[in-house]
Structure formats: structure tokens, C-alpha cells
Structure 1
């Protein structure tokens, strides 16, 4: 089964008409994207967008062989013109199946937003799943819903990462599934930042006009694998926690490990905790603990540890490391042992892991020996932890800067 992407952008395209934003201004050349439309084997057109014949011509394809046009979502603009020779576009009712004379079978999927998703099976038994913008499958879904992992999945990865998580949980996306981001608008900066965010979700995108053989991975595309261990550093309110959460938003069943615990006598701390909790997907589970080694050792869903600086604070509390005398008599050794155990667990963990930590020591020297001790030990912990991670990021003013 062959797929040509006539467009990969949001319904408004990129750049959006008359939009003065910096992201639209940068969307030129290969970074410009027409509204998403897919041509399957030259015979099935998924979504009718403005100028489909010109889009096909730019891709080196033709619409002359199209025998079926299927729509996936309501169109808010002026009525679309159907080029001469194309059949009238239709939408397949939810949960119904359509058999085409070309040998393709199309199953319509119910969504949690207006529109219809399509699971297309080609004559060669290859399968692609296509979801419209801003939509996810309705309900939880099961492996039976999709039968087996699809060869190719196209969806709004950036706008609905939870949809990708649900598809993974339901078995529609497996280790060998090629996940392609479409419906790309100006919500995310283009260029390297776009590809970095997609890679973190185990997805990628291609320019308009690209033709793919479904189920045959093209090594030239350098399809990404989501990193297994990531450390996100940053200063206060730098966006480090948001970035860490974003990196796991497309995965199901994440365990959020809160190392700060609860403080009933501190309303301001409670407000901070509530802000973090409200941002997290409802499918995530929270554990309040600093006992990280057993969690890292056990197989299971991804872990998000927020954060290492609070783990260090509580660990130093337990070994009374703030006292100069106790520190000299054994506190330093005790902390080194706990740090080594944590680093060893990170090195061998079978889980996908994202950890957050504060970047300190950029100029201000604490006034007390205990403060300087904490600064130094956190710097050492960050360096040891980063040494075990494939990806290390530093967030500055909400902008993630890759260090590795």
C-alpha cells in the first residue's frame, strides 16, 4: 500500500492565512504545510482540501484514478469545490465498514470529537490508521478493537498526545508501528524544535508531497526512537516540569513520582502541588515517595520523577547531613552510598524514565556551609544522573535546549 501526503498541516494550513505570529513567519519553503490530505494507492482520497489537483501535481501524483473520497471532520470554511472527475465526498457512519472495488477495506472509528477516524486495510493486508485534527478514539479501546498493531498511524500528535497514548494502550501502536504527525499548525515552533518534540513521543513528520510505502520503513527518514532515559534541568519557573510532562504525554499509564511529599501546614506548597496535578493526564498515577530504587528496578510503565533536588533534600534530612560534625563523621559517606545506589538503578532500569532537577550554582554562593554543601551535592548528583541518560535538556525561559 502506497501513501502520498498531499498536505500535513492543520485545517488552516501553515502559515495560517493573515497570521502575523513568529511561527507562521518562519513557515516557508519545506516548512510550509497545506491542510492534511492523504492519497492511498492513487485510488482513495482521505479528506478533500482546497486545490487537491494542484497538491497532487506538486507531489508528482494524479487524482485521475481516485474512486472514493472520504471526509473525516467538519469543514468550517467555504464549501469545498469538488474537482471534475472526482466522486462526491462522503463520510462513512461510525463503526461501519466499506469495501472498495480496488480491494481496500475501510473501517470507520468513533471519536471523542466531531469527525470520523478510518482504519484502512490495503490489498496487501497492510494497515494504516488516520485520525482527524484534535481527535482521539472514543472510549478506552482494546487490542480487539484494532486486531493488531497498525503498520502506520497518522494523527495530531502535538495537539492530542493522549490520543497516541490511548492507541498504544489499546494495541493499535506497537514497537514496529510508524507514527506520523499530521495536522501541524503554528502551536509548536517549526524546524528542530518540532522534530525534537515529535521524537520524544516516538513520532516524526515529513514534508508535503512525500510518498511512503506503508509498512516498509525507509532508513533515509531516520525514524526516531523515543529516548529511554531523559534528564530535564532548569532554574525556578523555567518550564522544566512542563517539558518533562510533555515528553511522556504520548505514553499510557505513566507513574508520576512526587519526591516533595505533602505539607499540610504550607498552603502555598499545596497550591504548587495542585497546579502540577491539574496539568497531568487523568490516566497517570501519582506516588509520593523518595524510595526511588525499587521503582526503577521493577518493570512497568514510564516513570516521571519530579524532582531530584527534593530527593536530595529529604535524603540529607534523613542522614542529618546539614550538621557539620555529623557530615564529617559519616554523613558524606552515607550520602555517597545512596547516590551511587540511585545512579546504578537508573543505569539498569527497564522503564522509560524522565527526571527533573534544578540547575544551581550559576553564580550565587550560599552564605552558610550547609547551603554550599547542598549546592555542591546537587551539582554532583545532576552530573552523575546525566551521565546515565541518553538525553539531557536545559530549560531556559520555557525554551528547552538540548545538551545531549
Structure 2
């Protein structure tokens, strides 16, 4: 099956007309995206958009062989002119299936927002799922076989990706392509980085993705025009560093928002009589997906040693505070009399647990020590020990990033 993405942008396109925002200003040249439309094997067109014929010609295709045009979502504005020779666009009722003369079968899927999703099976058994902007499959909690390719609104509906993963529709080898891209997400390297964390990617308008069986095997080869094409491999362990209000927690949560059943480990616990702390905790809870489970504990080693869904630990700096409390590290005499060795042993156990972790783990920690030297010995001790914790954990992570003013800087390994 050849899938050509004639456009990959939101219905209004990118950049938006007369929009003064910085993201639209940067979406120029190769970063510009027409409204999303897909051409499948030259015979099936999803979403007729303005300029579709020109977009197909630029991609080296013609629309003369199209035998069916299907719409996935309501189109605002004036009607799109249908190029000569194309059939009139239509939408298939939910649950209905079309059998085309080309050998393709198309099944319409009910969505949880206005629009229709389409599951396409090619003549040789290749499977494609295409979803409209802002939509996720309604009631997608059953178990299905993974699709070869899924094309959907990844940035707008990360929860929809999580539902598909839970159902098995997105597997380890599924190519997950982000479309309906709008100016709510930075383009270029930042978009690629965010999508890679979700196991997805975006491609330029005009890209053709091919799925075809490998002769003599039950495996399908996925490739793009320029060569082999595989879904990004998500790092198992990631450390997210940043200062106060830098956006580090948001970045950590974003990395797991397309995965179901995440275990969120809150190391801060509750603080009686502290309404400001309760407000912080409440804001974090409201931001997290409803499917995530929260565990309030500083006993991280057993959790890291268990098999299970992804683990988000927020944060190591509060874990260190608890560990220093336990060994009375704030007292100079206790610190010199064995507290230092006891703390270093706990840190070594944590680092070893991160090294041996088999589940996906995202850990958050504060980056301190770049400013004023603390005035007290205990403050300097905490700063130094947190630096050691961060360095030790970072050494066992495939990826580490530093968040500054809401921007994410990957740290070379």
C-alpha cells in the first residue's frame, strides 16, 4: 500500500492566514503544511482539499485514477471545487464497509468528536488507520491487531493514541504519523523531538509511505521514498532536569501522555496545614490523564524493579530531602558520624535500580547550584548531594534533557 500525504496540516493550513504568532511566522518553506489529505494507491483519496491536484502533481502522482473520495470531517468555508474526473466526495456511515474494485476494503469508524475515521485494508492485507482532526475512536477499548500505519492528530489527541495503544491497534512496529498539525505546537526540531517521545513522527507534505509484504515471510516492510522507515524507538529511561517553574514537570508528563496506565510517583506526599502546597499538588493532578494511577512514596527501588506500565517519578529532589531526613543529614555531627555514608548507600541503590529498570521510566529533578552559594552548611550539603544524584541517575539514562524557560535542551550522552 502506498500512502501519499498530500497535506499534513490542520484544516486551516499552516501558517494560518493573517496569524501573527511566532509559530506561524516560522512555518515557511518546507515547514508550511497544507490541510491534511491522503492518496492511497492512487485510487482512494481521503479529504479533498483546495489544491489537491497540484499537491498530487508535485508528489509525482495524478488524481485521474481516483475512484473514491471520502471525507473524514466537516469542512468549513466555501465548498471545495471538485477537479474534473473525480467522483463526488462522500462520507460513509459509521460501521459501514466499502469494497472497492481495486481490492481495498474501507470500514467507517465512529469517533468521539465530529467526523469519521477509516480503517483501510489493502489488496495484500496491509492495514491503515486514518482519523480526522481532534478525534479519537469512540469506545476503543477492545483488543485488535496492530495497524501497519496510523495517521492521526497525535499532538491534538494524545489520549486517543493512548487508547489505541491499550487496544493493541498501535504496536511496536506501527508507523505512527502525525497530521492535522497546527500552530499550537512548534514546528521543526521541537516538533520532531516531541513526536519521537511518543513514538511518532511528522513528514513533509508530498511524502509517500509504503507498506508491502516481504516475500516468503509474514513480516511487512515499511519504507519511505528515501529508504528504510521505522517508528522511532522511545528511550526506556529519561531524566528531565530544570529549575523552578521551568516546565520540567509538564515536559515529563508530555512524554508519557500517549501511553495508557502510567504510574505517577509523587515523592512530595501531603503537608498538613500548607494550603499552597495542596494547591500545587491539585494542579498536578488535574493536568494528568484520568487513566494514570498516582502512588505517593519515596520508596522508589521496588517500583523501579517491577515490571509494569511506564513510571513517572516527580521528583528526585524531594526524594533526596526525604533520604537526608532519614539519616539526619542536616546535623553536622550526625553527617560526619555516618550520615554521609548512609546517604551515599541509598543513592547508589537508587542508581542501580534505574540501571536495572525494565519498564519505561521518566524521572524529574531540579537542577541547582548554578546561582548563589547557599549561606548554610546544610544548604550547601543538599545542593552538592542533589548534584551527585542527578549525575548518577543521568549516567544510567538513555536520554537527559534540561528545561529552561519552557524550552527543552537535549543533553548529549
> Fold-level match, TM-score > 0.5?
yes
Contact 2:222 2:230 in 1 (8 A): no
| Aligned-partner Cα distance in 2 for 1:141–1:100 | 29
Q: Secondary structure at the match of 2:345?
A: helix
Q: Secondary structure at the match of 1:247?
A: helix
Q: Secondary structure at the match of 1:88?
A: coil
| Aligned-partner Cα distance in 2 for 1:139–1:379 | 46
Q: Secondary structure at the match of 2:338?
A: helix
Query: What CA deviation, in whole Å up to 9, does each residue of 1:184-224 have, x standing for no partner?
Result: 11111111101000000001111111111125323555642
Show the 5 A alignment for 1:160-239: 160-214=157-211, 215-218=220-223, 219-221=227-229, 223-239=231-247
| Aligned-partner Cα distance in 2 for 1:208–1:268 | 48
Show the 5 A alignment for 1:243-254: 243-254=251-262
Q: How many residues align?
A: 401
- The corresponding residue for 1:114 is 114
| Aligned-partner Cα distance in 1 for 2:100–2:316 | 56
What displacement does 1:301 show? 0.3
| Aligned-partner Cα distance in 2 for 1:221–1:195 | 15
| Aligned-partner Cα distance in 1 for 2:293–2:15 | 38
Show the 5 A alignment for 1:2-401: 2-143=2-143, 146=144, 148-214=145-211, 215-218=220-223, 219-221=227-229, 223-401=231-409
Query: What CA deviation, in whole Å up to 9, does each residue of 1:215-263 have, x standing for no partner?
Result: 5323555642111111111110000000000011111110000000011
| Aligned-partner Cα distance in 1 for 2:231–2:286 | 33
Query: What CA deviation, in whole Å up to 9, does each residue of 1:40-74 have, x standing for no partner?
Result: 00000011111111111111100000000010001
| Aligned-partner Cα distance in 2 for 1:286–1:78 | 48
Q: Secondary structure at the match of 2:318?
A: helix
| Aligned-partner Cα distance in 2 for 1:189–1:95 | 36
What displacement does 1:86 show? 0.7
Q: Which moved more, 1:363-372 or 1:195-204?
A: 363-372
With normalisation by structure 1, the TM-score equals: 0.98
Q: Secondary structure at the match of 2:221?
A: coil
Query: What CA deviation, in whole Å up to 9, does each residue of 1:112-138 have, x standing for no partner?
Result: 100010000000100000111111111
| Aligned-partner Cα distance in 2 for 1:117–1:141 | 16
What displacement does 1:141 show? 2.0
Contact 2:347 2:389 in 1 (8 A): yes
For structure 2, the 5+ residue unaligned runs are 212-219
Contact 2:173 2:230 in 1 (8 A): no
For structure 1, the 5+ residue unaligned runs are none
Contact 2:307 2:358 in 1 (8 A): yes
| Aligned-partner Cα distance in 2 for 1:77–1:344 | 59
With normalisation by structure 2, the TM-score equals: 0.95
What displacement does 1:163 show? 0.9
C-alpha RMSD over aligned residues = 1.0
| Aligned-partner Cα distance in 1 for 2:60–2:29 | 17
Query: What CA deviation, in whole Å up to 9, does each residue of 1:360-404 have, x standing for no partner?
Result: 001211111111100000001001011111111111111111113
| Aligned-partner Cα distance in 1 for 2:60–2:349 | 57
Contact 2:176 2:231 in 1 (8 A): no
Query: What CA deviation, in whole Å up to 9, does each residue of 1:300-329 have, x standing for no partner?
Result: 000000000000001111111111111111
Q: CA 1:364–1:222 in 2, change beyond 3 Å: closer, same or farther?
A: farther
